[in-house]
């Protein structure tokens, strides 16, 4: 059982499940996406994406108590083309962040695109997105390019885009 006093209690592995995201889960994906991204992708966008042949998509669910119904808390979606893959989107809803779920999703996606034939995985990330940069770094991604001032920020300060890549053949 997860203690209620601590707003960020650790989540035991047995409460977390990773599932293949099916088209019927498009609404769940859209509900999570809008909490994390602007612009957000709607359910139709997810339906189209999940219908594409090169798409690998995972959803993370957590049971909040022993007999609870698993609730969706995160997702990771990638696309494989020939021997390369790209992380299209990854996110974990805020109350469940920093509990290892993003890492579980990312590792699941690595395995999925690797078995679909990808030899390397790419992702572009804003240099000021500490959480995402930290996640990719922890997985062994290396910076292979940088677009200066690529992202406009509300305050008028632009953020660089980092091009990150991971050689899946060298990943243990």
Ligand X SMILES: CC(C)(COP(=O)(O)OP(=O)(O)OC[C@H]1O[C@@H](n2cnc3c(N)ncnc32)[C@H](O)[C@@H]1OP(=O)(O)O)[C@@H](O)C(=O)NCCC(=O)NCCS
In the complex, what is the shortest distance from the CB of residue 152 to ligand X, in angstroms, rounded to a whole number? 16
Q: 64 or 117, CB closer to ligand X?
A: 64
CA 44, 85, 116, 131 dihedral sign is negative
Q: What are phi and psi of 56, to 5 degrees?
A: -115, 125
Active site residue 124: yes
Q: Which long-range contacts (CB under 8 A, 24 or more apart) does 67-70 make?
A: 70/17
Q: 136 or 168, CB closer to ligand X?
A: 136
Per DSSP, the three-state class of 19 is strand
Q: 117 or 163, CB closer to ligand X?
A: 163
Token pair 């890549």 is at which residue?
Answer: 165
Residue closest to ligand X (Cβ): 102
Q: 101 or 168, CB closer to ligand X?
A: 101
Catalytic residue among 124, 143, 150, 151: 124
In the complex, what is the shortest distance from the CB of residue 117 to ligand X, in angstroms, rounded to a whole number? 23
In the complex, what is the shortest distance from the CB of residue 48 to ligand X, in angstroms, rounded to a whole number? 20
Give 102's strand partners: none
Q: Which residues bind ligand X (CB under 6 A)?
A: 36, 90-92, 97-103, 123, 125, 129-132, 134-135, 138
CB burial of 111-127 (b: ≥16 within 10 Å; e: otherwise) equals ebbbebebebbbbebbb
Catalytic residue among 8, 12, 22, 136: 136
Give 74's contacts (C-beta < 8 A, 6+ positions apart).
32, 59, 60, 90, 91, 92, 93, 96, 101, 102, 105
In the complex, what is the shortest distance from the CB of residue 172 to ligand X, in angstroms, rounded to a whole number? 17
Active site residue 136: yes
Catalytically annotated residues: 124, 136
């Amino acid at each position: 059982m997860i203690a209620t006093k601590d707003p960020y209690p650790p989540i035991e592995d047995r409460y977390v499940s990773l599932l293949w995201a099916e088209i019927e889960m498009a609404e769940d994906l859209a509900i999570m996406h809008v909490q994390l991204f602007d612009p957000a992708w709607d359910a139709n966008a997810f339906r189209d994406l999940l219908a594409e042949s090169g798409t690998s998509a995972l959803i993370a669910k957590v049971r909040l108590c022993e007999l609870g119904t698993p609730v969706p808390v995160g997702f990771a979606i990638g696309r494989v083309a020939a021997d390369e893959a790209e992380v299209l989107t990854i996110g974990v809803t805020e109350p469940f962040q920093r509990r290892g779920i993003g890492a579980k999703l990312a590792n699941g996606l690595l395995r999925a695109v690797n078995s679909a034939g990808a030899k390397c995985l790419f992702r572009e990330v804003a240099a000021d997105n500490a959480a995402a940069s930290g996640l990719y770094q922890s997985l062994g991604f290396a910076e292979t390019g940088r677009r200066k001032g690529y992202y406009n920020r509300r305050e008028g300060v632009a953020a660089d885009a980092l091009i990150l890549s991971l050689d899946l053949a060298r990943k243990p």
